[in-house]
Amino acid sequence: MEEIDARLREDVRLLGELLGEYIHAQCGEVFFDKIERIRLGAKTGRLGSEEGAEQLTRTLGELREDELQPVARAFNQFLNLANIAEQYHEIRRRAPEEPPPFAVRALPELLDRLLAGGHAADALARQLGRLEIDLVLTAHPTEVTRRTLIRKYEAIAAELAVLDHGDLLPAEREAVHERLRRLIAEAWHTDEIRRSRPTPVDEAKWGFSVIEHSLWQAVPAFLRGVDRALHEATGLHLPLEAAPIRFSSWMGGDRDGNPNVTAAVTREVLLLARWAAADLHLRDVEQLAAELSMQEASSELRARTGEVDEPYRVLLKQLRERLFATRDWAAAALHGEAVRSPAVLQNNRELLQPLELCYRSLHACGMGLIADGPLLDSLRRAATFGLFLVRLDIRQDAARHAAALSEITEYLGLGRYADWNEETRTAFLMRELDSRRPLLPVHFPASAETAEVLATCREVAQAPAASLGSYVISMAAAPSDVLAVQLLLKECGLQRPMRVVPLFETLTDLDNAAPTVERLLLLPGYRARLHGPQEVMIGYSDSAKDGGTTAAAWAQYRAQEGLVEVCRRQGVELLLFHGRGGTVGRGGGPAHAAILSQPPGSVPGRFRTTEQGEMIRFKFGLPDTAVQSLNLYLSAVLEATLLPPPAPEPAWRELMDRLAAEGLAAYRSVVREHPQFVEYFRQATPEQELGRLPLGSRPAKRRAGGIESLRAIPWIFAWTQTRLMLPAWLGWETALGNALARGEGELLRRMSRHWPFFGTRIDMLEMVLAKSDAAIAQLYDERLVEPGLLPLGQQLRGLLSQACAAVLELTEQDRLLGHNPEVRAAFSVRNTYLDPLHLLQVELLARYRLHQEQACSPLEQALLVSVAGIAAGLRNTG
């Protein structure tokens, strides 16, 4: 068996032993022995021992009712501790002879390549300073771990960092072990699962917490590294105001199918963001005021402060008072209307100017070393996060806007908007957008749903422009969908530009994305309202659910190609917004590779993408991890901008067309056309139970109905829990199998080697197939599925086997991830703890369905712990 890195193995062993010690002390020797028998049975069973597998099954079967949840918790805790060890391993101290991780090397090596390729140093510096990367933080219904526990996990990682110092004295090492014991004990006694469903405001606070505890430290550290790499390569520095990566959020703004996100919630979240930003900047300014005690200052600064002894402190204390006023006003506004005093900061220049003035003065007076310390970090935080922390996007379904307009037009005696064709709708909307008179009567008696749409538009109109990102229209299909939002915003008082963004999600809508946007750009008057780039969002999750990942990936690629060409032809800048999920089945995967696999010209110095909740924790939960993630984003966007991949060869396109068509037919023949599929899905996976568990603020379904009504996240998550991973690979087994049978293997390999789009898809497919496990999926069938549906489960596992065989033939390996033994080894370690959780979950599901347990019952809590543990063990799950 492959070996994981010795230091990682030692950290995993240490944390596991400390957890075992505590379970032994807390729960007794008999219970601890059961845990050990389960663990050893799973380990030997994985290695092929029938005796081990029987021991595992027998020990689990003998568990008493009151032991189910503690056993699930034990394995859940171990998997979370393994995650902490792995996460820390990525950022651990390297010995001088060890190469730094790729994330650290990526930018310096790229700059060297670009300079060697003829790019001018000053042009590189300008391009780097002008990059616009927007990471949009979203809530996540499968992020079940509570913030309280996440903080404890972060503290454990910090103690591992202390242990990494090889010169610790024995007493110092024992002190670290003692702190680890205490943290593990605290985690064991902390309820890891929410008892109630989080509200959208809770989710927003979780996002703010990630900024406070990680990104606030990570951003200036990241920008210092970028500046250092740029200076070493070119002799030039990043501009002070450069903020190549900024953050937006959907938490509190995404109301698509979520009735819990209201106009009042959006207002509250905007105010909470202002309070949090003021509070964080206030901490910075108070520290600076304590440190900048120097007396020498420039005449420019003296002009602001007068002839005082400590001019920097005087200026910073003025800023501190304004931040106090801003924070107090936001707190008061959260509890009702508050009078805004002139001291409240209104725009980011008011925050930046005093800091910039101090910075210039220190440099002018020969104190650049001091200026380039914490003051520079504060400046970069102010440039990145500003007064609003994150920009809040608004998202709503196109049908809600059409329904609101129908209500308005019917009330005015103009007919029913929903019944009009596209030409009539467009003509009406353009007339009203150009009209100086209002369309909406003052006392319009709106229904509750329409009143909520209008209330949201009024909140948008009243909020500061810098606090908002884009207004995203899900299920957009026509130019009128964009114009409708523009008109509703205008009628509600919006008098400034705001990006209104069509989101193309289904395969049909993706195919029509470029023609739709071109018709929009050709409308008279539309361009006058378009300030900045035309933003278009590409939906990954729903397109994959609609037609499988084979067809969806190609549809997304072609849609981007078409949009790039349309905007080039129309002379309009394009900003593509990628709605990527955390998993392969939802368009997820390694961000660096994904960006470099986009069509040429689609990443022109700007890139926008969603970051899903549980992946936010893994990518940005620790400051050093966040720095590495930000480095990967920046280097990938810079490379895709200046060294875009070549366009695919005609033969590659033809083969990809065939793969997509065959993959689509194979996927839909199962998901849409098999008469037993929906019932099998509901019996074989925990989909029904997931909808009742307190995971996220959104309902599991957009509306009543079958698979088509189910959200992409629970759709993926349910299959992941059983390890069949069906949405991530279904269709590829037929597409690749047919191509290989036609003798196109060498063409596929050439595509994989030389076309980043295809190579990345195959890499992600191989990764998810390595995480799948037909034997585990069969256990769910045997216990939970009625006999008449079992042949379908057997058929699906057969298709999984075909997918694995096709990938192995294509990659010319004898086992999946044969080229990546460390990742294979990490999976092997996790399976020892995942196998018992799967077996437990099967038993818990059977009992849950038999007894129809009430919410928050012990059985339901044990089930949710198993869900959380499997999610933790597989990492990118939802």
* 534 membership: H or E segment, kind and range: strand 534-539
Instruction: Supply the pLDDT for residue 805.
Output: 97
Per-residue pLDDT reduced to its tens digit, 269-305: 999 999 999 999 999 999 999 999 999 999 999 999 9
- Check if 140 is active-site: yes
> What pLDDT score does 40 carry?
87
What pLDDT is stored for residue 587 in this prediction?
46
Out of 34, 89, 140, 281, which one is annotated catalytic?
Answer: 140
205 part of the active site: no
Q: Which residue has the higher pLDDT, 444 or 702?
A: 444
Categorize the per-residue pLDDT at 862 as very low, low, confident or very high, splitting at 50, 70 and 90. Answer: confident
**Percent over 90 (pLDDT), the chain:** 68
Q: Where are the alpha helices (DSSP H) in 693-820?
A: 712-721, 726-729, 732-741, 745-754, 756-771, 774-784, 790-811
Q: Which range (157-161, 245-249, 737-741) has the least confidence?
A: 157-161
Whether residue 746 is predicted with pLDDT greater than 60 in this model: the reply is yes
| Mean pLDDT, rounded, of the chain | 90
From the number of C-beta atoms within 10 Å of its C-beta (0-12, 13-18, 19+), residue 285 rates as buried
Does the pLDDT value for residue 20 go beyond 70?
Answer: yes
Decide if pLDDT at 320 tops 90.
Answer: yes
As a whole number of Å, the end-to-end CA separation of the chain is 29
65: how many CB neighbours lie within 10 A of its CB? 10
pLDDT in the model for residue 423:
97
**Distances, alpha carbon 814 to alpha carbons 767, 771, 797, 822, in Å:** 15, 16, 20, 16
With contact defined as beta carbons under 8 Å apart, do 422 and 479 qualify?
A: yes
The amino acid occupying position 235 is G
Which pLDDT does position 706 carry in this prediction?
55
∠ CA 444-433-397, nearest 5°, is: 70
| Residue 87 CB neighbour total at 10 angstroms | 21
**Closest among 815, 804, 809, 780 to 794, alpha carbons compared:** 780
pLDDT tens-digit series, residues 646-672: 899 999 999 999 999 999 999 999 999
**For the segment 707-734, what is each residue's pLDDT rounded down to a tens digit?**
565 556 678 889 999 999 999 999 999 9
Q: Is the pLDDT of residue 829 over 70?
A: yes
Residue 588 has a pLDDT of: 47
34, 152, 545, 619: the active-site residue:
545
pLDDT for residue 546 is more than 80: yes
Q: Each residue of 331-385: pLDDT tens digit?
A: 999 998 778 899 999 999 999 999 999 999 999 999 999 999 999 999 999 999 9
pTM: 0.92
pLDDT given for residue 855 in this prediction: 59
pLDDT of residue 143: 52
Lookup result for tokens 């526990």: 149
